[in-house]
Structure 1
């Protein structure tokens, strides 16, 4: 398990600052085993994908989104690639008006800016309680006003299927068919196909397409050109990628990138 993002005494503190924020970058993958704490947590990445397990949910989340974890909720996280991410820890009494269940939220420009500013103040050692309370109030308003999003990818719980899923998270464009993946993970193609549907609600083909589009959305939000994103996501023909993306998101990749909260900062 990596070092905690903040000292455990702060994650467990009912008193003290209403909000603690931290930004961390490292040159390696970050893996945090299941744990819980008194404070609620909003977490996300600056780049790439993050797998988060919280309560009965397991999601793959791009940098354009965040995960809300209510107080005392068992959760774990795993970055795909070197970790560059952030977390905000909120006092339990401040979480009363926030979602009672863990969920995925879209990051608004205001919420992202408030998180970054709060982390900067913490890194500088600035401890003006009133200033932190004003920033916390902005974050709480933005979280409370956000609608939980269904656009995430559920992760399977079966160890062998999760091995396949993790490998695809690291390399979404890998073109191998399910039969090859099943053989690699040590189970039959039929079993893999059946259990993928049972554990995620999607066939392997639809699950992988959903993963690829989610990866693509995050990369477009980072400013990566459409043609490059299409290739990364396993589409040899950019026009095919554009058509599928428009069918799912209701807009073209170029239009999505232009209106992304990260691009409008």
Structure 2
């Protein structure tokens, strides 16, 4: 293991400003700033996003993103839900509560497509974050536009009013649709949800005054005490009676004042209580695979098990290593852990023995630079001239670096066979026929192939074809064409093999993945020796 601690010593570049070209969102996108600051231009409007906030960009919006120096942001591209975009139809700001950072990085990782299982759908991710922010016990964020602000202030003064949304809009001189848009864009909540939040916030003062539940319900706009209790419990996670009991037993030196303006001041000063906690990061794994490029991976949180050929590594936080091209590998990540790909380099026909692999230890001081490198390697949000192999070259050291940089194929017949099949996956020849082609003994080739790739020739060929199938499907190639490219007798045979390996049909996999591939297509790729030896994780 090679200990690394100082960013300058290991060659990590400073975190530079990044940007994307203008693009149209075909699927919803969540732009989240982890540290620093960023901006998103949607149409003619520029949204300034500080650390800890995110911007929801609906499908169909025209946008461009950028970040400042020393800033790390994650553009989380989300798959359509059952083929239909979900979530808000308008641009919406969301506060990301503390403690949600790792969960959002998990969603970003999952939507890159190299892990098994389904990532969150657009609506579910939006709702998860909105519910977490929605758990605040103080007043919801006030809108900024004049008309919406006046409506919000009126609701705070008289939360029990039964005036309708239409009546508020008419008095403000705007349409109901405009009123709805103002609230969603400026507060992250619909008008109805904002009003409910304001009513619950107003009820807290009355509960601290030991008012009767039925009286409070009527005062803040609920028809019945039971309806108020249900809404309060859904918002606060406890009944009004339990909240009142805790509030009255807590020491306080504040005098009771029923004046609404004074109550508003106190409510604005209320500390926010924790909202809904982030769901735990689930255990996950890659499909068994044969990569077309060498890939660098790094454990950002927790631990991970990496199997390459017949060797295994248990990586801990901060450790990184290379997954070599052309060799069977799998990665298993337990609950609460995150393993991130940092970059890649073309194999150019070279081979890397599992015995040459080493782990590299990064320090906590390296985290932000590595996260920035990770985002820049796999999304269009990157600095000008970014090299996706930068972090890779830091990890590939010593004999491993020599193997990776070697542009010529190794002398091993097994390696030459693997490179040939990767470039010509439809070639139907058996291993015995290949042995005759290479002028060697079939038993010897079978033995060498098993040693160098970690699996038998039939299994390796199947895994290699499935790895390439995922890539071609992600790039939008029709399943029938993929079937022919990979040498299957007909589409049903390919579909059966794909479903056996992945648990879903090629068509469903493609529907979930093609937009992500269009996103990734704009990222500079390491050159491959063949168009069919495609980089996938």
Task: Please list every run of 5 or more consecutive structure 2 residues that lacks an aligned counterpart in the other structure.
Answer: 1-7, 19-111, 113-290, 297-320, 328-339, 350-361, 387-408, 520-537
Q: Does residue 228 in structure 1 map to residue 513 in structure 2?
A: no
TM-score, normalization: structure 1? 0.51
- Check 1:212–1:20 CA distance in 2 against 1; reply closer, same or farther (3 A cut): farther
- Check 1:11–1:248 CA distance in 2 against 1; reply closer, same or farther (3 A cut): farther
- Check 1:79–1:258 CA distance in 2 against 1; reply closer, same or farther (3 A cut): farther
Name the SS of the counterpart of 1:162 in structure 2.
helix
Answer whether contact 2:435 2:441 (CA < 8 A) is retained: yes
Aligned match for 2:516, one of 234, 256, 262: 262
- Check 1:59–1:193 CA distance in 2 against 1; reply closer, same or farther (3 A cut): same
Task: Please list every run of 5 or more consecutive structure 1 residues that lacks an aligned counterpart in the other structure.
Answer: 1-9, 22-43, 70-74, 81-90, 100-106, 125-155
- Check 1:200–1:169 CA distance in 2 against 1; reply closer, same or farther (3 A cut): same
Question: How do 1:17-56 residues align onto structure 2 when only pairs under 5 Å count?
Answer: 17-18=14-15, 50-52=292-294
Answer whether contact 2:325 2:347 (CA < 8 A) is retained: no
Bigger Cα Rg: 2
Corresponding residue number in structure 2 for 1:127: none
Distance 1:241 1:186 in 2: 32
Q: For residue 18 of structure 1, report the CA deviation from its aligned partner.
A: 2.8
Q: Does residue 68 in structure 1 map to residue 342 in structure 2?
A: yes
Q: For residue 223 of structure 1, report the CA deviation from its aligned partner.
A: 0.0
Answer whether contact 1:50 1:79 (CA < 8 A) is retained: no
Name the SS of the counterpart of 1:52 in structure 2.
strand
Answer whether contact 1:157 1:199 (CA < 8 A) is retained: no
Corresponding residue number in structure 2 for 1:138: none
Distance 1:183 1:160 in 2: 12
For residues 201-246 of structure 1, give each alpha carbon's deviation from its aligned partner in whole angstroms, at most 9, with x where no partner exists. 3210111011011111100000000000000011021101000100
Aligned match for 2:461, one of 203, 208, 225: 208
Name the SS of the counterpart of 2:324 in structure 1.
strand
Corresponding residue number in structure 2 for 1:59: 325
For residues 241-261 of structure 1, give each alpha carbon's deviation from its aligned partner in whole angstroms, at most 9, with x where no partner exists. 000100001100000000016
- Check 1:254–1:182 CA distance in 2 against 1; reply closer, same or farther (3 A cut): same
- Check 1:13–1:251 CA distance in 2 against 1; reply closer, same or farther (3 A cut): same
Distance 1:242 1:112 in 2: 34
Name the SS of the counterpart of 1:59 in structure 2.
coil
Answer whether contact 1:257 1:263 (CA < 8 A) is retained: no
TM-score, normalization: structure 2? 0.27
